Each structure stands twice: as C-alpha cells, then as structure tokens.
Amino acid sequence: MSRVGDGGPAVRRLAEWDATDLLALAEEYDTPLYVIDRDRVAENCARLREAFPDADISYAVKAHTGQAVLRTVREAGLDAECASAGEVERAFEAGFTGNRIRYTAVNPPGRDLDRVVGRWQANPELTITVGAADTVDRLRDRGFDGRLCVRANPGVGAGHHEKVRTGANAKFGIPIERVADLAEAWAAEFDLVGVHAHAGSGISGDDLTAHRELVSRMGDLAREVESRGGGLEFVDVGGGFGVPYRSEEPPLDLDAVAAATREALGDVAGRSPAGCQAELGNVDATLSIEPGRYVVADAGVLLTRVNTVKEARDATVVGVDAGMTTLLRPAMYGAYHAIRNLSAGVDSDTDGEPNATGDRETVPVTVAGPICESADVLCEERPLSRPERGEVLAVGNAGAYGYEMSNTYNTRPRPAEVARSGTTVRLVRRRETAADLTELER
C-alpha cells in the first residue's frame, strides 16, 4: 500500500490552542460553544494553493457553511463547490460570483433545481454537475442549456468510514463506462465543461493507492471525451484529503498527494500558474480538486462544560452539555476526537491528552452527553485529568462537519459559534433557544 510520509505540513493539535483564551470564551459565551480560527482556515487554503499551484481549487462548502468561513475561503482565492441549493445561496451571500460556484447535484429535489436554475439565469457562468441522465432531463425541462459537468462513478472509493466512501457507491455518479457516450450527446446541447469524480471523505496516506486509481481512470475518461471532440475546461478528481485526528497519525503530505495526482492523470506537463492548466496527455484541461475537511477541521474546537461526574460499576462517566446533537461524528462514524480538560491546569501532549506530570490524577473516563441514547458519547475509557463539575473540556478537530451536522433531537437548541482572527473574536451564530425550535409550528 502506498503511504504518504511524515514530511507533510504540521497540523494544529488540540494542545496548541491556548487554554486560558478558550476558558475565557466559554465564560463569556457559555457552552456548548464552537470556536473557529479564521487565520488557520486561511493558512490551510494557502497550503493547498502551494501544493497544487496549477490547479483549480474549490472548497467543499458542506464541511462548514458559516459565512465567516466562506468569506475567508473566498478571500484566500478558493472557489465554492456546493452540494445543495441552500449552499449555493450561502456562497452567493458570502460574495462568490457565479463563475466561482459549482453545484454538484445528488438526486436533487425539484425545488433545488428550480432555485439553482433561477440563479444560473442571472449568473450564466455557474456550473452544474450532474450524476444521472435523469437530472439532465429535469434541467432541460427547466430551460437550462449552460455549463454542464458530468459526475462519473469510477468504481473505486476511499475514506475514513464506509458511510463516506462515495467513489464506488451506486448513489453517486454515472458508471464511468457510460459517461463518454452521454458526454458526446450532451455536448451538442449544453456547454460541456468538465468531468468529475470523488473517492470519499477523510482520505489518509493509506488510501493513496485508491486515490491514484480514481485519478488514473478520470484521466483515461478525459482522453476519451476529448477524442470524440468534446473539449473540457477541467477534470475534477474530488477532495476528501484527511487530517490526523490521533496523535500517532502524521499530517497528510500534500506535496506527495499532488505529485501522485499529476502522475496518475497521465503525462502531465505543468503550465504557468496564470494559465492554471495541466496537459492530460492529449487533453488540455485544468486539474480541479475540492477539499473541505482539510480546510477547516483543525481550525475548530468545541467547548463543553461538565455537569455530572458519576462512578458507575465499570467506568467513570463524565456528563457534559454537548452530545450527539452538538457533535454527531462519534455516534455516527465512531470517530475519534481528542479531548482536553482545560480547567485542570496540566500539561498536555501533542494530542491534547494529559501527561502524568500534572498535579491532578489521570483517570479513564467516558464523556457522555445529555441525549437519551446509548450512542451519545464523545469518548469511552479515555485518560483525562479527573474532571470536576463545572469544568470545561475542549474537543479538537471540530471545524469540519461539527456544526454542520448538529441537530435539534430531544428539542435541544444548537450551540453558539464564535470566529476569531488575530485578537478579534466575534459571535457569528447566536445560540438557539427553545422558542426558535417551535417558531415554525402551527
């Protein structure tokens, strides 16, 4: 198995967040509280631009749709890849223009197509990516004849969990062996601008073999489409670049990923950055990627307060005010997030876990939320400085799919969110109230 080495850029670990600053935010804004560092978002965007200087990079908006994040991404020069009509609206609100927005439709509801086609009529440079011939029929019925990208199902997927491996899942894209025929037919009716595929989410160095295979198949597809007279502006090989959630996991080596991507596409000859072109054999098209998690994961933490400490038969259960409605990933994917007791005043290692040098005893604890479900735990048997009621815990790598997947199960309002840049902190999403949850009821 190919593996990316340890030479990648440093990732921001939980221990690198200033405990005093985070405790002050918890005191001022209450908990649960999401904290997003806009400076780190900008740094991650710059790192991607450096590794892929000739590529078209679009941020996968679904990772975090907050306006503070979207504006930071736009200012950093990345475009927006949107998975829904709502995300398209958010992108426009954040200042993206139509030529910097791609809408990737997955079994889109009619109202989504109505809204996006309406936006396209006023912004004809907007691109729509389709993953089914049926979607093209529905677009045609709405009068769309603009910029079309075709999503292929390459038959190979990767990612941190089976639920996010999209490349071989029948739900996503048109079987790659059928795409060239359809693209040839659609090129006569629409402005065919690209082909697209996505392996999955949270791809690690261990998944590089699958990534290479997907990219290679997309290169072959691009050449076939070109051979039939269908010139392409871009070949989009997706994103899904992972970040290390555990201390023993090295940062993803973006330079190695970029080199592997160019090699797998086939006979890539770099052009000037101004042209942003990569020659794919006999296909003159832009390499396009769409990272999401990599941009925002380590730019966010979740703060939560301890309300209960219980000595159960086989575990010390620490109850907190954040649960699976606040951060769903542990319950949904069994995902690991580093957790740190900010109030304990102990030194921590690079993963945010306490060292034995602290004054307080370190004990294995299960951190559980307030939701009436056994899956509502943030960790089990995790060594932490023994938490006490009222103390604040920080949950790391919460910037991607944290707030986005939050929900109101058990009628629990969603948390507040603050964004910081330098020394400036701003409340960017107020805390929901019970009244907010019943406002739409009749």
Instruction: State the pairing for strand pair 362-368/377-385.
Output: antiparallel
Last residue of a domain, one of 293, 314, 345: 293
Instruction: Give the CATH number for residue 350.
Output: 2.40.37.10
| CATH number (domain holding residue 184) | 3.20.20.10
When pLDDT is cut at 50, 70 and 90, the band that residue 227 belongs to is confident
373 is in an annotated binding site: yes
Do residues 309 and 249 both lie within one domain? no
In a domain, 17, yes or no: no
Distance separating alpha carbons of residues 197 and 211, to the nearest angstrom: 11
Q: Is 240 annotated as a binding residue?
A: yes
Using alpha carbons, select from 93, 64, 131 the residue that is nearest to residue 292: 64
pLDDT tens-digit map of 385-406: 999 999 999 999 999 999 999 9
Q: Is the pLDDT of residue 203 over 70?
A: no
53 within some domain: yes
Domain span at residue 212?
38-293
Lowest mean pLDDT among 167-181, 298-312, 347-361, 380-394: 347-361
Q: Which contiguous run of DSSP H or E holds residue 180?
A: helix 176-186
Kindly state the average pLDDT of the residues 232-248. 88
Strand 79-82 and strand 101-104: the pairing is parallel
Q: Are residues 274 and 315 in the same domain?
A: no
Same domain for 285 and 301: no
Residue 15 belongs to a domain: no
Last residue of a domain, one of 230, 265, 293: 293
Q: Mean pLDDT over residues 231-246, rounded?
A: 88
- Tell me which residues are annotated as active site: 372
State whether 279 and 377 are in the same domain: no
Is 44 in the same domain as 193?
yes
Please say which residue of 293, 318, 353 terminates a domain.
Answer: 293
- pTM value is 0.89
Exposure class string for 350-385: b at 16+ Cβ within 10 A, else e: ebbbbeeeeebebbebbbbbbbeeeebbbbeebebb
- DSSP class per residue in 15-76: GGS-HHHHHHHHHHH-SSEEEEEHHHHHHHHHHHHHHSTTSEEEEEGGG---HHHHHHHHHT
Q: Is 417 left (phi over 0), alpha (psi -120 to 50) or beta?
A: beta
| 236, 311: one domain | no
Q: In terms of pLDDT, which residue wins out, 60 or 231? A: 60
Residue 411 identity: T
Residues 167 and 67: their CA atoms lie apart, in Å, by 29
Q: Which residues pair with 279 in a beta bridge?
A: 269, 284
Annotation-wise, does 103 bind a ligand? no
97 with 226, same domain: the answer is yes
* Whole-angstrom distance, CA of residue 391 vs CA of residue 223: 59
257 and 345 housed in the same domain? no
Residue 343 has pLDDT above 90, yes or no: yes
Mean model confidence pLDDT for the chain: 86
Q: Answer yes or no: do 99 and 233 share one domain.
A: yes
Q: Count of domains in the chain? A: 2
The reply to whether 63 and 167 lie within a common domain is yes
The residue assigned the tokens 């832009």 is 286
User: Residue 205 has what pLDDT?
Assistant: 58
The highest-confidence range among 7-16, 148-157, 356-365, 384-393, by mean pLDDT, is 384-393
User: 109 labelled as ligand-binding?
Assistant: no
Same domain, 57 and 180: yes
Task: Take residue 428 and report the two structure tokens written for it.
Answer: 């960017």
- The response to whether 293 counts as a known ligand-binding position is yes
21 burial class (0-12, 13-18, 19+ CB within 10 angstroms)?
middle
Asked if 177 and 305 sit in the same domain, the reply is no
